[in-house]
């Protein structure tokens, strides 16, 4: 079987060498984008008088037939034809005869593959934006149920100060908001057309790059043909944004894993998002959260793989760049899948409000309150810290928490203490009073949830 580029060659490569060089095994995922790009290209060739109306019509019809076959899974790709671009071109020539060979006028596989990937990533990133929004919404909906649910807040994984559970969940809402904005901003650079840059230097044909860009819904064209065919920044940005997003998810995964353990029992995952053990009948494992935490590593891997592939590459296209695809495809699948699972997990989890609340009563996370109390009565905060530290030690020695320590012990520690400390020390009071902007005070949390809902309602959907 002769190659579409075989003219210059006197012998054909061995099949196993072809197999090593081919990308059709994975870039067939781009078939629809490849045809979409070709349809715009041929229309442009017609408009510019480079092909006749009749030629454009034949090629367009042929491509549309191939598209239908692609959608029905009826195409038989061949390694001999190396990649998706040559496979589609071969299908076209088989379908409509030699006129199909005119499609490739004024373009190269180098601008073609770049165009395909811009189209692919635009579509995928728009879907990911929607999935992020869904997860944000799930967090807000759970949050609204739990404004006054208390949970110990941690630093160093040591109980620090109690917080509203909604406030804790909403921390992730804002991380996701940044993720959303990173993707949305990245889309500006994804939505630029490399088509018409040719192999690297442009073309002698009087093409109209702006016209084909417009047909494909791009906002503009690459200004430099060398840059157009060798730029993969838009994929790197996608992978960086995805790595940060996955890092965020992995943190919530870790909390979900901890919270659903026997030690915490703060939440229970719905059966649909947990699995059992093949040997221990009592087990209910948070597999999905563990998997997403693990999959974060794959996405980082794809980012580092592409950074390394591109490092030191001279202009313009180099075959190394064929290695840009699998990591990108994998990251897309991983991110979309993780977001979808996460949304379901958050929507269906049961929150053990009583266990959480009880936890806030059985620790010293209200100690800061006591120090603030003394400070607000004029004692320098440093001294107040010292007084309360001693009181905590006294409680530990006596087997008390601050709320059940007799008042006489307080009076002995400082004459500034009054009976109202027992109200001040209530976890609910502790949380309610942290009403500084962005704090966990219930009024602040209520405000944040309202702000978040407005943000979600105003998100422009792509």
Stretch that binds ligand ARG, among 108-116, 130-138, 189-197, 412-420 (CB under 6 A): 108-116
* Site of tokens 């790709």: 77
Lay out the site mask for ligand ARG across 266-305 (x = CB under 6 A, - = otherwise).
Answer: ----------------------------------------
Helices and strands (H and E) in the chain: how many: 19, 6
CA distance 431 to 440: 6
Stretch that binds ligand ARG, among 47-55, 134-142, 314-322, 373-381 (CB under 6 A): 314-322
**By the 8 A CB rule, do 385 and 368 touch?**
no
CB of 229 to ligand ARG, least distance (A): 9
CB of 306 to ligand ARG, least distance (A): 13
Query: For residues 163, 166, 168 and 170, what is the CA-based torsion angle, rounded to 10 degrees?
Result: -140
**By the 8 A CB rule, do 114 and 226 touch?**
no
Toward ligand ARG, which CB reaches closer, 23 or 242?
23
CB of 324 to ligand ARG, least distance (A): 7
CA distance 139 to 262: 24
Stretch that binds ligand ARG, among 60-68, 106-114, 351-359, 377-385 (CB under 6 A): 106-114
Toward ligand ARG, which CB reaches closer, 287 or 326?
326
Toward ligand ARG, which CB reaches closer, 281 or 312?
312
Q: Which of 180, 317, 373, 442 binds ligand ARG (CB under 6 A)?
A: 317
For the chain, the farthest-separated pair of C-alpha atoms sits apart, in whole angstroms, at 101
* Site of tokens 């891997």: 301
Q: Which of 150, 321, 367, 421 binds ligand ARG (CB under 6 A)?
A: 321
Toward ligand ARG, which CB reaches closer, 306 or 384?
306
Beta bridge partners of 220: 192
Active site annotation includes 164: no
Q: How far is CA 157 from the centre of its chain?
A: 26
Q: Which residue among 2, 156, 278, 436 is the active-site one? A: 156
Toward ligand ARG, which CB reaches closer, 83 or 369?
83
Q: Which of 193, 240, 296, 322 binds ligand ARG (CB under 6 A)?
A: 322
Stretch that binds ligand ARG, among 12-20, 87-95, 239-247, 316-324 (CB under 6 A): 316-324
110 touches ligand ARG (CB under 6 A): yes
CA distance 387 to 379: 10
| Total chain residues near ligand ARG (CB under 6 A) | 10
Toward ligand ARG, which CB reaches closer, 311 or 319?
319
CB of 114 to ligand ARG, least distance (A): 9
Residue 362, number of CB atoms within 10 A of its CB = 11
Q: How far is CA 442 from the centre of its chain?
A: 30
Q: Which residue among 167, 225, 277, 361 is the active-site one? A: 277
87 touches ligand ARG (CB under 6 A): no
Active site annotation includes 156: yes
Q: Which of 113, 310, 367, 452 binds ligand ARG (CB under 6 A)?
A: 113
**By the 8 A CB rule, do 62 and 51 touch?**
no
DSSP character at residue 321: G
CB of 31 to ligand ARG, least distance (A): 13
**By the 8 A CB rule, do 310 and 236 touch?**
yes
CA distance 417 to 415: 5
83 touches ligand ARG (CB under 6 A): yes
SS3 289: helix
CA distance 336 to 339: 5
CB of 437 to ligand ARG, least distance (A): 50
328 touches ligand ARG (CB under 6 A): no
Q: Which of 41, 102, 109, 167 binds ligand ARG (CB under 6 A)?
A: 109
Toward ligand ARG, which CB reaches closer, 89 or 179?
89
* Site of tokens 């071109």: 89
Q: How far is CA 151 from the centre of its chain?
A: 27
CA distance 388 to 402: 10
Toward ligand ARG, which CB reaches closer, 115 or 137?
115
**Phi, psi (rounded to 5 degrees) for 97:** 90, -170
34 touches ligand ARG (CB under 6 A): no
Judged on CB neighbours under 10 Å (0-12, 13-18, 19+), 76 is: exposed
Enumerate the active-site residues. Answer: 156, 277
Residues that bind ligand ARG (CB under 6 A): 23, 27, 83, 109-110, 113, 317, 319, 321-322
């Amino acid at each position: 079987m002769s190659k579409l580029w075989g003219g210059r060659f006197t012998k054909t490569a061995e099949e196993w060498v072809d197999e090593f060089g081919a990308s059709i095994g994975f870039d067939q995922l781009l078939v629809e984008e490849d045809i979409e790009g070709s349809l715009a290209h041929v229309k442009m060739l017609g408009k510019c008088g480079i092909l006749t109306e009749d030629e454009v019509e034949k090629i367009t019809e042929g491509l549309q037939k191939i598209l239908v076959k692609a959608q029905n899974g009826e195409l038989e790709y061949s390694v001999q034809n190396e990649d998706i671009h040559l496979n589609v071109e071969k299908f076209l020539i088989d379908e409509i005869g030699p006129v199909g060979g005119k499609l490739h006028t004024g373009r190269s596989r180098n601008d073609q593959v770049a165009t395909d990937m811009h189209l692919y990533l635009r579509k995928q990133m728009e879907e990911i934006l929607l999935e992020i929004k869904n997860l944000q919404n799930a967090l807000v909906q759970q949050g609204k149920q739990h404004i006054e649910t208390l949970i110990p807040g941690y630093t160093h994984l040591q109980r620090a100060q109690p917080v509203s559970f909604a406030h804790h969940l909403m921390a992730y809402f804002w991380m996701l908001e940044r993720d959303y904005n990173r993707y949305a901003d990245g889309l500006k650079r994804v939505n630029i057309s490399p088509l018409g840059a040719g192999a690297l230097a442009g073309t002698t044909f009087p093409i109209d790059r702006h016209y084909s860009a417009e047909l494909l819904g791009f906002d503009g064209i690459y200004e430099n043909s060398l840059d157009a065919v060798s730029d993969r920044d838009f994929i790197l940005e996608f992978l960086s944004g995805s790595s940060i997003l996955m890092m965020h998810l992995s943190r919530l995964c870790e909390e979900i894993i901890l919270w659903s353990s026997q030690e915490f029992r703060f939440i229970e995952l719905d059966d649909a998002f947990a699995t059992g053990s093949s040997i221990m009948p009592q087990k209910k494992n948070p597999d999905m959260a563990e998997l997403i935490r693990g999959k974060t590593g794959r996405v980082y891997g794809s980012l580092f793989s592409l950074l390394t592939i591109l490092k030191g590459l001279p202009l313009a296209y180099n075959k190394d760049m064929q290695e840009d695809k699998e990591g990108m495809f994998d990251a897309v699948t991983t991110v979309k899948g993780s977001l979808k699972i996460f949304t379901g997990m958050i929507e269906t989890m049961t929150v053990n409000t009583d266990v959480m609340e009880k936890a806030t009563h059985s620790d010293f996370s209200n100690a800061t309150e006591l120090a603030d109390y003394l400070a607000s009565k004029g004692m320098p905060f440093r001294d107040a810290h010292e007084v309360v530290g001693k009181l905590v030690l006294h409680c530990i020695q006596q087997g008390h928490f601050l709320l059940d320590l007799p008042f006489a012990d307080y009076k002995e520690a400082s004459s500034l203490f009054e009976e109202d400390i027992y109200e001040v020390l209530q976890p609910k009071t502790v949380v309610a009073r942290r009403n500084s902007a962005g704090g966990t005070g219930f009024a602040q949390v209520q405000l944040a949830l309202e702000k978040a809902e407005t943000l979600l309602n105003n998100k422009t959907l792509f």
